[in-house]
Structure 1
Amino acid sequence: MADDDWGAAAADKLSSLAVAPEKPSKGRGMGRGLTIGPSAPVKPGPMGDAPSTEPEDKELTASDASLLNKILHQKLVTSKADIEVQHKDPKSPLYSVKSFEALHLKPELLKGIYGMGFSFPSKIQESALPALLADPPANMIAQSQSGTGKTAAFVCCMLSRVDASLRYPQCICISPTFELALQTGEVIKKMAKYMAGVSLRMAVRGERVGREEKVEDQIVVGTPGTLLDWCLRFKAIDMQKIRVFVLDEADVMISQQGHQDQSIRLRRALSRDCQLLLFSATYDQAVMTFAQTVIPDPIVIRLRREEESLDNIKQFYISCRSDGEKFDAITNIYGTISIGQSMIFCRTRKAADWLAKEMMAQGHAVAMLTGELEMSQRYSIIERFRDGKEKVLITTNLSARGLDIEQVTIVINYDLPTDKTNTEPDYETYLHRIGRTGRFGKNGIAINFVDGHRTMEILQKIQIHFNKEILKLDASDVDEIEKINE
């Protein structure tokens, strides 16, 4: 499939994301590159009353969060987290590599990897790639957050298994959404840049195959519904010839109604010796149940949980009787200690909007991220924050969930994260929030506002869950505030 065939469809769909197509590459069928265009930051609206306690922000969907993280992590994120490896065969030849040369890759594939800026394998790649490339092929479930190199790992596996002389599909990758499929296609295009004769076909909405057509491209990336039609309805792809079958973004996949069943139907059409791979950013029970349905006898590789990072983060709480006292506490903190960049998490859009206006009135450079923003606006805001153009990022509980933003020295929980009933702590969100600070072994600070008996109970449950004491801080005592930064 030529660049212009699916590139036009991509450009139409992604125009709302401020994504502009690059010039097509000369190689046949390897897709069209995508770059992010500028978009003006969104400023808070007119001043309103004091913030309400009623939730009113739209949730950032799993697919949107995943896409935004893929866009933000265009460069590999360095991680010191240990890898946990589980496999049922104790004689498995699983080992770790420290260089791509040790994998004995095809020279043209190695050239493509270096051309992407990868000089050495990431943590997840060190353990995953030897197992992915071993013979006989091993099935795998791999988990780590965006930016750690999961996509590059399974793309490397697919390109290693492909025979360019055979003009039929040999590798299939399923992504849950159109946009995520395009992101994977972009990685394939870059890594296969020097692999003559290897081509990519995008099986996404808007792309069609004729009833008598047989797909000739060796790699097919698409969404479950379209791939189901191409493979089982139109018989354009012979599933018995597929060597590698990848389920990407499994955590997003299972959140999309119908995608699980479609993926399982495709998997059942494969030959027994097809290599099955599942990649996910999370490792909860829903993901594992789905994975065990699809992937038999897998090697399981995941980054260990980030609880260890709590050792580098000083956690405090401040008792506040009102939103006014919360704002006074913020004023005292920012006026007393030196803060590089910070994030403040609110439960509602109205609270975030009110706080942003109050802080801007005091001269703070503030950005606000809430759920009603378009993807291009979210991207622009986070890019500006990463570039240091704004020092404070105020965001809502729902819109921030799942986003991975680094280079923060202090996190403030204006409202503690709770579940949908607003009665129990959301431990994963709490860990994710305060994990935005204390990165790479540096010290970080997390401050929680407690505004009543119920909130104190939630804080106590958080302490018990993580087995970490959260110290009380008197925000009116300048000397005490100064000590938290020592």
Structure 2
Amino acid sequence: MSSWADAADEEPHAQVVAPDPGFKESDPPPPGFSASDEGAHNPSLIEAQAGSGSGSGSAAGAGVEDGVDKPDIALKSEGLQEEEGEEVQAEVRGDAESIYKAAETFEDLGLSKELLEGLYSGMKFQAPSKIQARTLPLILSPPYSNIVAQGHNGSGKTTCFTLSMLSRVDVGENCPQALCICPTRELAMQNYKVMLKMAQYTSITSKCTASEEYGGGGRGAGVEKAGASINEQVIIGTPGTLKNWITSGRKPPLDVTNLKILVFDEADQMLDANNFKDMSLRIIKAIEDKKNKAKGAPPLQILLFSATFSDVVKEFTSRVVGNDAHRIWLPASKLSLDVIKQYRVVCPREEDKVDVLKERIFPLAERLGQCIIFVRTRPAARHLHNELANEGHKCTSIHGDQSFQERDQVVKEFRDGTTKILIATNVMARGFDVSTVTLVVNYEPPTVNGDGQTPDPETYMHRIGRSGRFGRKGAAFNLVTEHTKQVDVLGAISGHFQREVKDVPFDDDDAFEEVLKEAGLA
């Protein structure tokens, strides 16, 4: 399957910004820093998105093996999720530390009354989050320095860079002034909706390469007409289409001469060699070349925002933003291994795992809170869903064969508490938080790209991190079949983290009750 990033894959959408009342602000995926020093970095988190753009295609691309999903970074937590006592850390260059103080209110930022109204009335915000308070004064004040910002899921990053783009726009100039690049269409559309809501009281114009009005668009959608040009002030989209808009033809449709601010959302993915690093660099070079040839072009401010940065990507960011960029981050959330009790259940046969769920874990999980069960493949998700539903268990499942609309409905039902048990492939492994999840079950231990062979400690950490969020206790059960590779994989993961995973006999009801009490969940 060829990468969708190599094609102009969305339809353009131009309009004066208008409200979207049904949308809630949220921020990008997985919590904490990359686990590059704790476990192997899962090389490719984003897979090609197939389909005609009708919105009914697969929601997540296939992995190495057919039916294996990649994590979907467009699945986010709802609302602000700040942990008590967490403090922003910063490496601020020059004398900016003494000049730019953290903002206590949005009024401290010198925003227009239209943007303030959008924040208070449209977004229902009361005050800046911690990362917003520390980062926005540095972004919005001359000399408009480059920024590398890292914060966990729900820390307020989306609002931070969206407000930064809108604040830099001169509404009197009908030309592109702010550009945001996202690794997936879904994330581009989510960010676009946040921008629409925040800017609904302004006259700022916008375009998104992933507009839902045009079904996500197709190759070269809407910009292939001779002489067509893009004059909207804020542009949000994916790298493939944006590269074509910026570089195609003698007169590319997107003139970047007057760009003031360039944002990379999920910058770790955009700058990772396994994902979009080369394309990101080509876009930056094309913008710089265009500006160097023009007289009086404004300098370009680059903002890199992400929930994680691997060590390799951290080193590479200096090539993109220079060594004088300010760096702001929230410390990694110490969720997984400290507050979550982990258990191993060795089953004689693969089919015994269903009995463990139905006869031992689920009766307890129903009264303890919500539960997520991770399986390796889409067929496994469907099969387990049918098995449990036939036994009368109230459950649902989410995987890459579902349409975006179907997955949205599943997520809504789980967030609303309509369903207690969610069966998920790796599409749900990162960036999705529901505070009432207290139990996670690994139906199989995670492996790199779902190959069933290579232990994946980082995905394991993110999976079990769906429970025990924000200081709450949680438990994780790992089901493995004896005399199979699953036992070795889990053993390698346990050894990697140097943490004991306690054994629970697969047919001992009392033992399950005891360990759940031990975890504070019974």
Return the alpha-carbon distance in structure 2 between the equivalents of residues 320 and 111 of structure 1.
58
Other-structure match for 2:341: 314
1:262-288 deviation per Cα after TM superposition (whole angstroms, max 9, x unaligned): 323334234683211122343124543
The SS at the match of 1:291 is: helix
1:288-341 deviation per Cα after TM superposition (whole angstroms, max 9, x unaligned): 355333222322233433334432211111222212332232222223563321
Return the alpha-carbon distance in structure 1 between the equivalents of residues 85 and 279 of structure 2.
31
Which runs of no fewer than 5 residues in structure 2 stay unpaired? Answer: 1-9, 24-54, 57-63, 211-219, 292-296
Q: Quick one: structure 1 residues 151 and 234, their matched pair in 2 at CA, closer, same or farther if it must change by over 3 Å?
A: farther
Other-structure match for 1:367: 396
Q: Does 1:326 find its partner at 2:356?
A: no
Q: Does 1:352 find its partner at 2:356?
A: no
Equivalent residues of 1:143, 1:302 under 8 A apart: yes
Q: Quick one: structure 1 residues 99 and 317, their matched pair in 2 at CA, closer, same or farther if it must change by over 3 Å?
A: farther
For residue 444 of structure 1, report the CA deviation from its aligned partner. 0.8
Return the alpha-carbon distance in structure 1 between the equivalents of residues 132 and 443 of structure 2.
37
Q: Does 1:276 find its partner at 2:276?
A: no
For residue 175 of structure 1, report the CA deviation from its aligned partner. 3.0
For residue 145 of structure 1, report the CA deviation from its aligned partner. 4.8
Q: Does 1:164 find its partner at 2:164?
A: no
For residue 86 of structure 1, report the CA deviation from its aligned partner. 4.5
For residue 372 of structure 1, report the CA deviation from its aligned partner. 1.7
1:338-396 deviation per Cα after TM superposition (whole angstroms, max 9, x unaligned): 33210111223343333323322332101122222222222211211222222111122
Q: Quick one: structure 1 residues 336 and 253, their matched pair in 2 at CA, closer, same or farther if it must change by over 3 Å?
A: closer
Other-structure match for 1:221: 236
Out of 259, 282, 287, which is 1:242 matched to? 259
For residue 209 of structure 1, report the CA deviation from its aligned partner. 7.9
Which runs of no fewer than 5 residues in structure 1 stay unpaired? Answer: 1-7, 12-23, 41-53
Q: Quick one: structure 1 residues 314 and 419, their matched pair in 2 at CA, closer, same or farther if it must change by over 3 Å?
A: same
Other-structure match for 1:465: 496
Return the alpha-carbon distance in structure 2 between the equivalents of residues 443 and 66 of structure 1.
25
Equivalent residues of 1:34, 1:186 under 8 A apart: no
Equivalent residues of 1:313, 1:438 under 8 A apart: yes
Q: Does 1:194 find its partner at 2:209?
A: no
Other-structure match for 2:446: 417
Return the alpha-carbon distance in structure 1 between the equivalents of residues 454 and 228 of structure 2.
55
Return the alpha-carbon distance in structure 1 between the equivalents of residues 11 and 267 of structure 2.
25
Q: Does 1:380 find its partner at 2:380?
A: no
Return the alpha-carbon distance in structure 2 between the equivalents of residues 178 and 470 of structure 1.
39
For residue 432 of structure 1, report the CA deviation from its aligned partner. 1.0
The SS at the match of 2:368 is: coil
Q: Quick one: structure 1 residues 162 and 345, their matched pair in 2 at CA, closer, same or farther if it must change by over 3 Å?
A: same
Return the alpha-carbon distance in structure 2 between the equivalents of residues 66 and 273 of structure 1.
31
Residue type matched to 1:76 in 2?
L
Return the alpha-carbon distance in structure 1 between the equivalents of residues 171 and 93 of structure 2.
32
For residue 193 of structure 1, report the CA deviation from its aligned partner. 1.9
CA RMSD of aligned residues (A): 3.5
For residue 443 of structure 1, report the CA deviation from its aligned partner. 1.2
Q: Quick one: structure 1 residues 376 and 34, their matched pair in 2 at CA, closer, same or farther if it must change by over 3 Å?
A: farther
Q: Quick one: structure 1 residues 287 and 131, their matched pair in 2 at CA, closer, same or farther if it must change by over 3 Å?
A: same
Equivalent residues of 2:153, 2:431 under 8 A apart: no
For residue 59 of structure 1, report the CA deviation from its aligned partner. 2.1
Q: Quick one: structure 1 residues 250 and 266, their matched pair in 2 at CA, closer, same or farther if it must change by over 3 Å?
A: farther
Higher relative contact order (CA 8 A, sep 6+): 2
Residue type matched to 1:427 in 2?
P
What is the number of residues matched between the two proteins?
Answer: 442
Equivalent residues of 1:68, 1:375 under 8 A apart: no
Other-structure match for 2:460: 430
Out of 85, 104, 108, which is 1:102 matched to? 108
1:74-112 deviation per Cα after TM superposition (whole angstroms, max 9, x unaligned): 533444584564536264326544432333322221111
Equivalent residues of 1:81, 1:304 under 8 A apart: no
TM (normalized to structure 2)? 0.74
Other-structure match for 2:32: none
Return the alpha-carbon distance in structure 1 between the equivalents of residues 239 and 131 of structure 2.
26
Residue type matched to 1:117 in 2?
K
Return the alpha-carbon distance in structure 1 between the equivalents of residues 12 and 226 of structure 2.
23
The SS at the match of 1:194 is: coil
